[in-house]
Amino acid sequence: MKNLQKTTSALFVVLALIVLNSCNKETKVSEPVISKTTITDYANIISSFALETEEELTSTDVTNLKSASLASCFNVTVHANANGEFWPRTWTVEYPGGDCIFLSGNTKKGKINVSLSAFWKNEGSLRTVTFEDYYFNGNKLEGTKTILNNGLNERGNLNFTKSVKDSKLTYTDGTSITWACEKYSEMIAGSTTFIFADDIYSVTGAGSGVNLDGKKYTINITSPLIYNSGCFYPVSGILEINTDGQNSQTIDYGTGECDNLATLTVGGTSSEITL
């Protein structure tokens, strides 16, 4: 009888430990996972490929030259063709030494290589941009950007296909975000002059990549982005960002102001943000 009582008591102890352990597992609260990727990171990877200065400097033919204000902190080298022909043309835009600071507050360092098959306003002309140990705002930028002139559309406006491939923006802490896109850019003002200050573009299209957390994301332009020459960010238009396992986010760039402000909407809640 004593042995039976000991055995029964032992069983109760074992059962109690099992139940207690089970309760502990059920009541354990998981710590929230904080995303490394912010809305600014998505905006950065898109805006890093704007390259307005480099495109302005390399938009020339034999007789026509887009106006360009050269800063003292960068050099432009034009590479002559061995056969003496003017086209195609290649340039190297170099930001040597320390960071080159622009009026927008953005900094650049390293080299950007540009090739252009023909005058940029000619249908079929192709511009190719690559980077050589290049840093934008202290972050390393890699990839290839191409701009293909598709000629005039049904509205009589020049339109271009702008693609970015194999791109990556690597931050100083070693984390990185990738990006690939195909966008369609329509020149809605400024095509009749040879100055960039009056150029305005309407841009549509989409892209995708992998963010700082290793999650896939897509970005779709749901309302055309309007770019005014001299403004780093779009002055209007809406982006929709969808990331695996997260709520959809939209960025509304406003109604025409040249600034770094936008409206972020997540889950029906909107707030003003600084890009």
How high is the pLDDT of residue 66? 54
Three state DSSP letters for the chain: CHHHHHHHHHHHHHHHHHHHHHHHHHHCCCCCCCCCCCHHHHHHHHHCCCCHHHHHHCCECCCCECCCCCCCCCEEEEECCCCCCCCCEEEEEEEEEEEEECCCCCEEEEEEEEEECCCCCCCCCEEEEEEEEEEECCEEEEEEEEEEEEEECCCCCEEEEEEEEEEEEECCCCCEEEEEEEEEEEEEECCCCCCCCCCEEEEEEEEEEECCCCCEEEEEEEEEEEEECCCCCCCEEEEEEEECCCCCEEEEEEECCCCCEEEEEECCEEEEEEC
Supply the pLDDT for residue 62: 55
How far from chain centre, in Å, is Cα 45? 2
pTM score > 0.85 for this model? no
Q: What is the structure's pLDDT at 21?
A: 44
Q: pLDDT value at position 271? A: 95
Mean pLDDT of the chain: 84
What is residue 56's predicted lDDT score, i.e. its pLDDT? 82
- Residue 198 near residue 216 (C-beta atoms within 8 A): no
CA dihedral angle for residue 249, residue 223, residue 145, residue 192, rounded to 10 degrees: -150
Token pair 């960071």: residue: 99
pLDDT of residue 14: 39
**Distances from the Cα of 252 to the Cα of 85, 120, 200, 238, angstroms:** 46, 30, 18, 5
Q: Which residues of the chain have pLDDT under 50?
A: 1-33, 69
Nearest of 114, 118, 115, 113 to residue 61 by alpha carbon: 118
* Cα distance between residue 167 and residue 161, in whole Å: 17
* 65-90 confidence digits (pLDDT tens): 555 545 678 888 888 888 889 899 99
User: How far is it, in rounded angstroms, from Cα 237 to Cα 223?
Assistant: 5
The pairing of strands 139-152 and 89-101 is unpaired
